[in-house]
Amino acid sequence: MSKPESKIGVTVIGATGYSGAELVRILLQHPRVKLEKVISRTFAGKPISQIHPRLRTNLICQGLNIEEITSSIVFAALPHATSMGIVGKLHGKNRKIVDLSADFRLQDTTIYEKWYGLVHQQPNLLRKAVYGLPELNRDKIKKSCLVANPGCYPTAAILALAPALQKNLIEKEAIIVDAKSGVTGAGRKLTLTTHFPEVNENMNAYQVEGHRHLPEMEEELSKLSGGKVQITFVPHLIPLNRGILSTCYARLRNSLNVKEIQDLYTQFYQQDPFVEVLPVGSFPQIKEVIFSNRCRLGLTINNTTGWLIVISVIDNLGKGASGQAVQNMNLMCGFPEELGLC
């Protein structure tokens, strides 16, 4: 009889927020993980199953004590600014860290400070952090001890545009991303704009002048394309719990037909288990990816304007947050990339 495979110890900091609770849900079912600690300052001392009854575990939420975290892998599911100091302390203790905040996604501290309104306290770690989009950075993630998990909107947009930009099929200066997200993308904290009567039977654009995820999209896509990418990005809130649909528009540089571009996208993602390029004439829907780590892409060309249109859908708590974080953990630990995910 074969020897059972060993499990690695894992801690989740910020375990009671939407992303943290989704992480706990996925990790409890992961065959190579032992979830050792769930940390929540707000609910310390309470069973996490009392906060989120769908989580079948006896784990008790603990307060944060860096010295007591001995797990091999630590997930930090915390707001920006809160995360950077904690990650800085953990990094010095030889832990592998997946950070779900925005604190380590941007390489340029001046850009971070412009969009987030505060001075970055760990600029030395920015050079060590790897942007955790496996479809673009798989080999770097495997070698990294600090992975910056991408934002939900950037994940959907980057996956939609990466093949076209990498192959220089579209103009870099006139890209439009029109994105719509479910309410969990705003986090668990109560606000008027996410109050049920405000969201139900409604849809609204927000942060139209500039959303914090915009520089993340532009930075990663500029690296990929070898030139400065400029995007007009407008997010919208829709009355769903979870899911993102992004419609991306870009002017084609060359005369290609839809089938040629669809073949190019299929080839680009042929080694990526969670990205599915749909047949010509098919377009994805949010309900197809809920509670999964999948991204589905559909594309076409507007023959009147000569613009490429790519539609992507993800679950903002799955491929847009916690599912992708576990995918990154799998790569960092040498596990099969799809392990524990669907």
Of 45-54, 87-96, 254-263, the range with the lowest mean pLDDT is: 87-96
221 and 309 inside one domain: yes
Q: Hey, what are 167's tokens?
A: 């192959």
Residue 339 lies in a domain: no
Residue 188 lies in a domain: yes
209 and 139 inside one domain: no
Residue 338 lies in a domain: no
- Give catalytic status of residue 145 as yes or no: no
13 and 135 inside one domain: yes
Average pLDDT over residues 74-88: 93
Q: Which pLDDT value is given to residue 115?
A: 93
Question: Domain total for the chain?
Answer: 2
Average pLDDT over residues 241-264: 95
Half-sphere exposure of 116 (CA within 13 A, CB side): 24
138 and 156 inside one domain: no
39 and 131 inside one domain: yes
Q: Which pLDDT value is given to residue 290?
A: 97
Q: Which pLDDT value is given to residue 193?
A: 75
259 and 276 inside one domain: yes
Q: Which pLDDT value is given to residue 190?
A: 65
40 and 189 inside one domain: no
304 and 168 inside one domain: yes
Rounded to an integer, what distance in angstroms lies between the CA atom of residue 250 and that of residue 176?
Answer: 7
Average pLDDT, the chain: 94
Q: Which pLDDT value is given to residue 14?
A: 96
Rounded to an integer, what distance in angstroms lies between the CA atom of residue 206 and that of residue 184?
Answer: 15
CA 155-272-220 angle, 5° bins:
35
Confidence of residue 342 (pLDDT cuts 50, 70, 90): very high
Catalytic one among 152, 295, 333, 342? 152
Rounded to an integer, what distance in angstroms lies between the CA atom of residue 102 and that of residue 166?
Answer: 24
Instruction: Give the rounded percent of residues in the chain with a pLDDT score beyond 90.
Output: 83
Could you report the per-residue pLDDT of 253-299, keeping only the tens digit for each? 988 899 999 999 999 999 999 999 999 999 999 999 999 999 999 99
Strand pairing category for 61-62 and 33-39: parallel
Q: Please say whether the beta carbons of 146 and 130 come within 8 A.
A: yes
Rounded to an integer, what distance in angstroms lies between the CA atom of residue 236 and that of residue 51?
Answer: 29
Could you report the per-residue pLDDT of 178-226, keeping only the tens digit for each? 999 999 887 777 677 777 788 888 899 999 999 999 999 999 999 999 9
Residue 99 lies in a domain: yes
SS3 312: strand
Rounded to an integer, what distance in angstroms lies between the CA atom of residue 89 and that of residue 97?
Answer: 11
Which CATH number do you get for residue 298?
3.30.360.10
217 and 169 inside one domain: yes
Domain range for 170 is: 152-316
Residue 1 lies in a domain: no
Q: Which residues pair with 233 in a beta bridge?
A: 177
Could you report the per-residue pLDDT of 68-80, keeping only the tens digit for each? 999 999 999 999 9
What does the DSSP 8-state code read for residue 106?
-
Q: Of the candidates 179, 185, 160, which has an alpha carbon nearest to the alpha carbon of residue 312?
A: 160
Residue 2 lies in a domain: no
Residue 341 lies in a domain: no
Rounded to an integer, what distance in angstroms lies between the CA atom of residue 319 and that of residue 26?
Answer: 12
Rounded to an integer, what distance in angstroms lies between the CA atom of residue 326 and that of residue 12?
Answer: 11
Q: Hey, what are 243's tokens?
A: 């899911």
Which CATH number do you get for residue 61?
3.40.50.720
Could you report the per-residue pLDDT of 154-185, keeping only the tens digit for each? 999 999 999 999 999 999 998 999 999 999 88
Longest dimension (CA), the chain: 65
329 and 209 inside one domain: no
179 and 276 inside one domain: yes
Residue 171 lies in a domain: yes
Rounded to an integer, what distance in angstroms lies between the CA atom of residue 30 and that of residue 223?
Answer: 33
157 and 306 inside one domain: yes
85 contact partners, CB below 8 Å, separation of at least 6? 121, 122
